[in-house]
Amino acid sequence: MATTEQAQVFFYCTEQNNSAIESFMVEHKIWHIQKGYILFYEDGKTYRADAGQTILLRRNQLVKASLMDSENGEKFEMVKILLTRDFLNSLILEDPHAANTDSDSSKEYMERFLIAKNDLMSGFFESLKPYINSGQNIPGQLSTNKTKEIFLLLEILWPGIKKSLFDFTEPIKLELGEFMSKNYIYNITLERFAYLSGRSLATFKRDFKKIYNLPPHKWLMKMRLEEAKRLIFEEKKAPSSIYLQVGFENLSHFSTAFKKYYGFNASSEKIST
């Protein structure tokens, strides 16, 4: 992996195909794919974003994805831009009306991630290529200015998006059973699960025990392996293609856990009832 990071804008590429990303978005991020493609996994579905497309990932979201080399063998490359809370607050200090949307649209963007292709965005990222190709760091002030520029473009691409970008509120307390059923495949810490469900860690563990009568780590393993078994034996998916999708960091850990839980290998033809 090669990474060059500046104040807001940085370049990312991979040295191997199928690099996995599973992350909790602490800050808003913009990804623009230069080469290759990204597979996003959500609610049992797979979404693909290709070279030339721009993705917006907002804070307090969970993301599970694979960064893929292109079919012709080009290594995956993308540009990342961070929209940190400090950066957004600086915009408000410069202009108290910065948070006001330019659109009267009342649309709410509820998706975990937004994907689009737009000529204005493509032109913006073309302007970064001389720095990327030369291997130079983008100077701090210029990096900040380019971040301001793309921030304005976001409102054109997704009218009304400023509303969620300037929303600094913390997660509200959610119904825990529904929340965990939707998010158990994400391989994050219990502290993150607690935070996103609107609870302290102690309250999360207490509420969890009341609902499931199991410690969280045992319940998570059970749910992930049951979903893995369904994908392998009902949908005929290969273990190597689904271990990340169900919340495991690597194939070896998944295979060992599956064999221990069911008593046979994930690649076995036998289905244990």
Strand partners, 42: 45
Are 141 and 203 contained in the same domain? no
Q: What does the mean pLDDT of the chain come to? A: 86
- Specify if 270 maps to a domain: no
Are 17 and 151 contained in the same domain? yes
Are 153 and 198 contained in the same domain? no
Nearest alpha-carbon partner for 23 in 61, 63, 58: 63
- Specify if 170 maps to a domain: no
**Between these two residues, 20 and 131, which has the higher pLDDT value?**
131
Question: What predicted TM-score, i.e. pTM, was given to this entire model?
Answer: 0.80
Query: How many degrees, rounded to 5, is the angle at CA 15 between CA 12 and CA 17?
Result: 100
Instruction: Considering only CA atoms, give the Rg of the chain.
Output: 21
- Domain boundary at 119, 135, 165, which? 165
Model pLDDT, residue 95: 84
Q: Which of 18-22, 69-73, 129-133 has the lowest mean pLDDT?
A: 18-22
pLDDT above 50: residue 4: no
Other C-beta atoms closer than 10 Å to the C-beta of 106 total: 8
Q: What is the pLDDT of residues 134-147, one digit of tens each?
A: 766 677 788 888 99
Are 59 and 120 contained in the same domain? yes
Q: What is the pLDDT of residues 149-180, one digit of tens each?
A: 999 999 999 999 998 999 988 899 999 999 99
DSSP state letter for 230: H
pLDDT above 90: residue 205: yes
Task: Report the CATH number that the domain containing residue 160 is assigned in CATH.
Answer: 2.60.120.810
**Coil, helix or strand for 72?**
coil
- Domain boundary at 165, 184, 209, which? 165
pLDDT above 50: residue 2: no
**Structural domain containing residue 129:** 2-165
- Specify if 273 maps to a domain: no
Task: Report the CATH number that the domain containing residue 208 is assigned in CATH.
Answer: 1.10.10.60
Q: What is the pLDDT of residues 248-268, one digit of tens each?
A: 888 999 999 999 999 999 986
